[in-house]
């Protein structure tokens, strides 16, 4: 078929096909080239990943739209325009969005983030890796079985996530919410199926040197494995319940080491690999600078891993760690921009093609958003800027610029380039190029309509939270005022997000219609290339270019010429080991003093996380309440961290101390304040207030919080409480006699009854004994109160 051959021969016209390259100083000698071998590429698995991108892309963005609507609808119903409430119908029509247990914002928001990152983004990465690796290695994936296990395993994990998260099974750590059995499955699929398959393909390749895209894939696979394993370490306390082995400050440190590097090694490095393959292919232009690739790759890998603590500025994290996080983020600016420069400058001389080709348009805007996000990231990690931006929508705008602009658009560009080739389109092209053009414009405007208002909202919130009047009082002491102020911005986000979703749907339609243009049977083009021989002689190392200098200078100059790197590029194992060393050494320099040393040394513990004698473990009932807090995803809207900033202590009370979180497995500091901070909420409201507020948050006018009526009817499982207390005790939480027999269960029952009685006495609802409501309220009433409590005479359980 002539159309087929036209799309499969992607070789740029100017690329030499000769093999007379021995004279090139960058090339060594194949001493004994292997025999010519014939092979085919496995495009079937890439097609599967492509379908998965479309499906999960639509799902992730639909859930995103849903949670965006949940933030505006409650107040919309109350909005008065010209004396009437035109949107009152929304309040009743959409009441189920606030009252249905498994539809609440706190449970769906993790579903949205996980689906966007790991389902949409993940499948995009896999499609890119499986398509390009085979061609860059001149080898079929090592094992079709592993490829398929990887594909189906990953989809099963996504389905498990989509079921468990709305049901409230979560570890309560952002972007790492999935419970321990799913975490184990992720480790097996990622390392055992994907990692092994990829590395074995590298080892059986027929291309001597690894192209830069492969370096980024190596960094992705190795680092994500390390991050996932160490962040997910947990003690199971049931089939779908576990507690992080780290507590408080240490858990926060590990979580944001993971969280930030999920951005780095899940959303950045694989997409840079994608860029390095698909951009020059689509533009038919050589990559701008090989040397820049080397420098920015290694600087990115080594520096990124340190930057995590910038998510914890002004928190109870020791200041030195926060400072390191800020500084390494600043140093990350240029390594990140190296990728942008190499991408954009590759298009020199091809800008006329950009005007005509939607694929290149997506890539140009995607790379531009990458540049913007990687400038903004270092800027936001400057402490004084972070003091304003943290916990506000500014962060949300930042990540959506990155996710929609960079990850989304790079994926779309790749999809439009791949589809005609993967599906061997009869027309040789997409079903509709015009539709792809429309998608580009709708998507671009959608992103802007999303992020610009949300930047505005974020800065507005930040400024309102810190505004004082003449008398020295907060100008907006009611938190809810600062929420209502940004409602118009939230509506614009709904519009922008809808447009982006519409674009995604157009993309899905276009790709599926292109699929209908496939031939009755896909042609598997037979490739041929010589196997790699056992012996390869590197070109001679160049001499120093310097004349009058020390020996050290000469050595340095030889190093800077980078020929050694050319050698590394043909040694995948060595290359991988060095990537792992870079990542692990950098991680260890932060994590050992912060997380490991304090476990074994009192000196290190007192230095970083000084104990506070009055801070005691939660009572069994409070622990159960904490589990409810985690399961409902309260941390998605409420922080538990009063920063040592005047406006903040004025609003919330004394700033949080590291020792206050000694028994918090996992930490619940949060990253966003859609509602007020709760670190010092304990004792501030009556039991009755909490119960009535949780049952109907609309008692606070303007509140957009979901209702938690179900907690007043759902019964506590006291046996589970005993198991959970025992699991905590295993990690060294001093529960004393509570772990014996069913002591914890008895203590929990007694406390639940006493709280139910207290609520009834204060005039609240009756009959709350043994309900999850009493547990959650018990937990809330405990929050932040230990700091000023008298130290206990004995070290029993609870206070």
Partner 1 sequence: MSRNKAADPLLNHEYDGIREYDNPTPGWWHVLFLLSIVFSFFYFLYYEVNPESATNESTLLAARVAETKRIFGAVGELSPDEATIQAMRGNAQFLEVAAGIFIGNCAQCHGRDGTGGTGTNLTDDEYKNVNRLEDIYSVITRGAGGQAMPAWDNRLSQNERVILAAYVANLRGSATGGKGPEGKAIAPWPPIPAPEKN
418 binds partner 1 (CB under 8 A): no
Residue for token pair 């499609």 = 127
Query: Which two structure tokens, joined as six digits, stand for 207?
Result: 């291309």
Binding segment for partner 1 among 157-165, 208-216, 354-362, 514-522 (CB under 8 A)?
A: 208-216
Q: With respect to partner 1, which residue has the nearer C-beta, 129 or 136?
A: 136
**Segment contacting partner 1 by CB under 8 A, of 70-78, 160-168, 240-248, 652-660:** 652-660
Judged by beta carbon, residue 156 or residue 546, the one nearer partner 1 is: 546
Shortest Cβ 773–partner 1 spacing (Å): 16
Rg (the chain; Cα; Å)? 28
Distance CA 502, CA 443 (A): 8
**Part of the chain binding partner 1 (CB under 8 A), chosen from 20-28, 73-81, 100-108, 716-724:** 20-28
685 binds partner 1 (CB under 8 A): yes
Q: Binding to partner 1 (CB under 8 A): which residues in 294-323?
A: 295, 299, 314, 319-320, 323
Give whichever of 116 and 249 is closer to partner 1, judged by the CB atom: 249
Among 286, 428, 736, 765, which residue interacts with partner 1 (rule: CB under 8 A)? 286
Nearest Cα to 342, choosing from 392, 286, 386?
286
Of 128, 207, 214, 113, nearest to 158 by C-alpha is: 113
Determine, following the binding rule CB under 8 A, whether residue 327 of this chain makes contact with partner 1. yes
Region 748-767 residues binding partner 1, contact defined as CB under 8 A: 758, 762
Residue 501 to residue 499: CA distance in whole angstroms:
5
In 507-560, at which residue ranges do the beta strands (DSSP E only) sit? 527-530, 536-537
**Interface with partner 1, residue 351, by CB under 8 A:** no
Give 124: exposed, middle or buried? Use CB within 10 Å, 0-12, 13-18, 19+: buried
Least Å from the CB of residue 718 to partner 1: 24
Q: How far is the CB of 280 from partner 1 (least distance, A)?
A: 5
CA distance 7 to 424: 8
- The nearest distance, CB 586 to partner 1, in angstroms, is 14
Element containing residue 241 per DSSP (H, E)? strand 241-244
* Total number of residues that touch partner 1 (CB under 8 A): 82
Q: Does 207 contact partner 1 by CB under 8 A? A: yes
The DSSP H or E segment spanning 236 is strand 234-238
* Cα–Cα distance measured from residue 567 to residue 431, given in angstroms and rounded to the nearest whole number: 44
Q: Which of 495, 538, 689, 736 binds partner 1 (CB under 8 A)?
A: 689
Q: Taking CB under 8 A as the rule, does residue 102 contact partner 1?
A: no
Q: Give the span between the Cα atoms of 135 and 276, in whole angstroms.
A: 13
**Identified binder of partner 1 from the candidate list 217, 328, 394, 423, rule CB under 8 A:** 328
Task: Closer to partner 1 by CB, 230 or 290: give it.
Answer: 290
| Phi and psi based region of residue 204 (left: phi greater than 0; alpha: psi -120 to 50; beta: remaining) | alpha
Partners of 421 in beta bridges: none
Write down the least CB distance from residue 693 to partner 1, Å: 9
Q: How many other C-beta atoms can be found within 10 angstroms of the C-beta atom of residue 102?
A: 13
Contact call for residues 54 and 511 (beta carbons, < 8 A): yes
Q: Smallest distance, Å, CB 408 to partner 1?
A: 24
Site for partner 1 contains 646 (CB under 8 A):
yes
H or E segment to which residue 244 belongs: strand 241-244
Which residue number, 355 or 473, has a Cβ lying nearer to partner 1?
Answer: 473
Q: Is the CB of residue 580 less than 8 Å from the CB of residue 222?
A: yes
In whole angstroms, the minimum distance from the beta carbon of 477 to partner 1 comes to 3
Task: Count CB neighbours of 550 within 10 A.
Answer: 9
Binding residues among 232-271 for partner 1 as defined by CB under 8 A: none
67 and 105 Cβ atoms separated by less than 8 Å: yes
Structure tokens given for 416: 């439009």
Scan for tokens 């309040």, then name that residue: 91
Query: Residues 126, 246, 655, 718: which binds partner 1 (CB under 8 A)?
Result: 655
Out of 39, 230, 290, 298, the residue judged to bind partner 1 by CB under 8 A:
290
Judged by CB under 8 A, does residue 683 bind partner 1?
A: yes
Q: Which of 2, 21, 83, 520 binds partner 1 (CB under 8 A)?
A: 21
In the complex, minimum distance from the CB of residue 235 to partner 1, in angstroms, rounded to a whole number: 33
Is residue 545 near partner 1 by the rule CB under 8 A? no
Complex with partner 1: residue 487 or 700, whichever CB lies closer: 700
Q: How far is the CB of 211 from partner 1 (least distance, A)?
A: 4
- Taking CB under 8 A as the criterion, which residues in 434-493 touch partner 1? 469-474, 477-478
Residues between 137 and 156 with contacts to partner 1, criterion CB under 8 A: 138
Q: Does 533 bind partner 1 (CB under 8 A)?
A: no
Query: Residue 324 interacts with partner 1 (CB under 8 A)?
Result: yes
| Nearest alpha carbon to residue 718 among 735, 738, 695, 732 | 738
Give whichever of 230 and 320 is closer to partner 1, judged by the CB atom: 320
C-alpha pair distances (Å), 491 with each of 68, 77, 494: 8, 13, 5
Q: For partner 1, give the closer residue by CB, 333 or 578.
A: 333
Kindly report the number of other CB atoms within 10 A of residue 610's CB atom: 12
Please, what is the end-to-end C-alpha distance for the chain in angstroms? 79
Smallest gap from Cβ 780 to partner 1, in A, equals: 11
Q: Does 791 bind partner 1 (CB under 8 A)?
A: no
Among 542, 788, 791, 795, binds partner 1 (CB under 8 A): 788
Q: Using CB under 8 A, which residues numbered 577 to 616 contact partner 1?
A: none
Minimum gap (Å) between residue 576 Cβ and partner 1:
18
Cα angle 554-558-564, degrees, rounded to a multiple of 5: 150
Separation between Cα atoms, residue 505 and residue 172, nearest integer Å: 31
Least Å distance between CB 306 and partner 1? 10
List 55, 160, 345, 459, residue binding partner 1 (CB under 8 A):
345
Residue 707 DSSP one-character state: P
**Which residue lies nearer to partner 1 by CB, 144 or 469?**
469
- Contact between 5 and partner 1 by CB under 8 A: the answer reads no
- Among 251, 622, 677, 692, interactor with partner 1 by CB under 8 A: 692
Cα–Cα dist 606/594, whole Å:
11
Looking at the Cβ atoms of 381 and 424, the one nearer to partner 1 is 381
Using CB under 8 A, which residues numbered 698 to 737 contact partner 1?
Answer: 700
Which residues make beta-bridge pairs with 242? 236
User: Which two tokens mark 111?
Assistant: 């579903």
- CA dihedral over 379, 382, 388, 389, signed as positive or negative: positive
**176 is written with which tokens?**
């790492």
Nearer of residues 16 and 534 to partner 1, judged by Cβ: 16
Considering only residues 180, 256, 661, 687, which one is a binding residue for partner 1 as defined by CB under 8 A?
687
Q: In the structure encoding, which two tokens stand for residue 472, read together?
A: 């020295």
CA dihedral 474, 480, 482, 486 (to 10 degrees): -170
Q: How is residue 357 written in tokens?
A: 């080709």
Binding segment for partner 1 among 444-452, 580-588, 640-648, 705-713 (CB under 8 A)?
A: 640-648
As a whole number of angstroms, the distance between CA 786 and CA 791 comes to 9
Does position 684 bind partner 1 by CB under 8 A?
yes
Which of these segments, 134-142, 184-192, 369-377, 433-441, binds partner 1 (CB under 8 A)? Answer: 134-142
Whole-number minimum distance, CB 224 to partner 1, in Å? 24
């Amino acid at each position: 078929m002539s159309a087929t051959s036209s799309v499969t021969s992607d070789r740029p016209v100017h690329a030499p096909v000769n093999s007379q390259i021995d004279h090139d100083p960058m090339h060594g000698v194949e001493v004994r080239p292997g025999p010519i071998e014939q092979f085919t590429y496995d495009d079937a698995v890439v097609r599967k990943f492509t379908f998965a991108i479309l499906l999960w892309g639509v799902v992730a963005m639909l859930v995103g739209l849903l949670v965006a609507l949940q933030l505006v609808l409650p107040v919309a119903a109350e909005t008065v325009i010209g004396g009437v409430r035109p949107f009152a119908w929304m309040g009743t029509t959409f009441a189920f969005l606030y009252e249905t247990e498994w539809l609440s914002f706190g449970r769906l928001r993790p579903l949205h983030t996980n689906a966007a990152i790991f389902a949409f983004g993940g499948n995009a990465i896999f499609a890119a890796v499986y398509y390009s690796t085979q061609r860059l290695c001149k080898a079929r994936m090592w094992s079709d079985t592993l490829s398929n296990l990887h594909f189906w395993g990953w989809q099963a994990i996504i389905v498990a996530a989509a079921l468990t998260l709305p049901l409230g099974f979560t570890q309560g750590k952002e972007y790492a919410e999935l419970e321990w059995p799913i975490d184990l499955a992720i480790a097996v699929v990622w390392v055992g199926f994907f990692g092994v398959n990829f590395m074995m393909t590298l080892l059986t390749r027929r291309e001597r040197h690894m192209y830069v895209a492969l370096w980024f894939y190596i960094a992705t696979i190795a680092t994500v494995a390390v991050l996932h394993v160490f962040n997910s370490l947990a003690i199971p306390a049931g089939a779908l319940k576990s507690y992080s082995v780290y507590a408080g400050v240490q858990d926060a440190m590990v979580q944001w080491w993971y969280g930030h590097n999920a951005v780095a090694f899940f959303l950045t490095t694989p997409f840079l690999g994608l860029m390095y393959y698909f951009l020059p292919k689509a533009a038919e232009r050589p990559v701008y600078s090989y040397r820049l690739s080397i420098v920015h790759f290694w600087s990115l890998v080594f520096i990124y891993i340190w930057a995590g603590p910038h998510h914890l500025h002004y928190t109870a994290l020791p200041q030195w760690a926060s400072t390191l996080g800020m500084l390494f983020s600043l140093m990350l600016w240029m390594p990140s921009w190296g990728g942008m420069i190499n991408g954009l400058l590759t298009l020199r001389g091809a800008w006329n093609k950009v005007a005509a080709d939607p694929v290149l348009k997506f890539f140009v805007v995607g790379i531009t958003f990458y540049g913007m996000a990687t400038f903004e990231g270092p800027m936001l990690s400057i402490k004084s800027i972070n003091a304003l931006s943290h916990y506000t929508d500014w962060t949300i705008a930042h990540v959506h610029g990155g996710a929609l602009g960079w990850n989304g658009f790079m994926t779309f560009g790749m999809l439009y380039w791949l589809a005609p080739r993967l599906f061997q389109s009869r027309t040789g092209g997409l079903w509709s190029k015009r539709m792809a053009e429309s998608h580009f414009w709708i998507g671009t405007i959608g992103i802007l309509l999303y992020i610009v208002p949300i930047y505005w909202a974020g800065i507005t919130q930040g400024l309102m939270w810190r505004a004082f009047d003449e008398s020295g009082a907060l100008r907006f002491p009611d938190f809810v005022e600062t929420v209502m102020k940004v409602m118009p911005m939230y509506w614009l986000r709904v519009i922008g997000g809808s447009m982006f979703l519409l674009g995604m749907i157009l993309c899905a339609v276009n790709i599926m219609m292109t699929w209908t243009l496939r031939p009755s049977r896909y042609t598997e083009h037979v490739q041929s290339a010589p196997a790699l021989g056992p012996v390869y002689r590197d070109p001679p190392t160049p001499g120093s270019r310097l004349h009058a200098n020390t020996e050290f200078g000469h050595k340095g100059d030889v190093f800077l010429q980078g020929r050694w790197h050319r050698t590394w590029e043909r040694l995948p194992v060595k290359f991988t080991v060095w990537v792992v060393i870079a990542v692990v050494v950098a991680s260890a320099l932060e994590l050992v003093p912060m997380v490991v040393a304090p476990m074994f040394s009192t000196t290190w513990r007192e230095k970083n996380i000084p104990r506070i004698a009055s801070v005691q473990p939660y009572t069994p009932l409070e622990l159960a309440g904490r589990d409810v807090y985690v399961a409902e995803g309260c941390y998605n809207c409420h922080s538990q961290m009063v920063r040592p900033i005047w406006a903040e202590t004025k609003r919330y009370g004394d700033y949080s101390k590291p020792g206050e979180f000694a028994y918090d497995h996992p930490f619940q500091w949060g990253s966003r304040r859609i509602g007020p901070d709760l670190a010092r909420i304990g004792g501030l409201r009556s039991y009755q207030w909490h119960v009535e507020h949780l049952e109907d948050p609309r008692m606070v006018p303007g509140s957009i919080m979901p209702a938690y009526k179900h907690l007043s009817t759902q019964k506590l499982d006291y046996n589970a409480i005993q198991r959970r207390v025992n699991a905590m005790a295993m990690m060294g939480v001093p529960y004393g006699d509570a772990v014996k027999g069913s002591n914890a269960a008895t203590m929990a029952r007694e406390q639940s009854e006493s709280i139910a009685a207290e609520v009834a006495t204060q005039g609240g609802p009756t009959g709350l004994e043994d309900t999850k409501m009493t547990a959650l309220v018990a937990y809330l009433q405990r929050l932040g109160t230990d700091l000023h409590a008298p130290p206990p005479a004995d070290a029993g359980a609870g206070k």
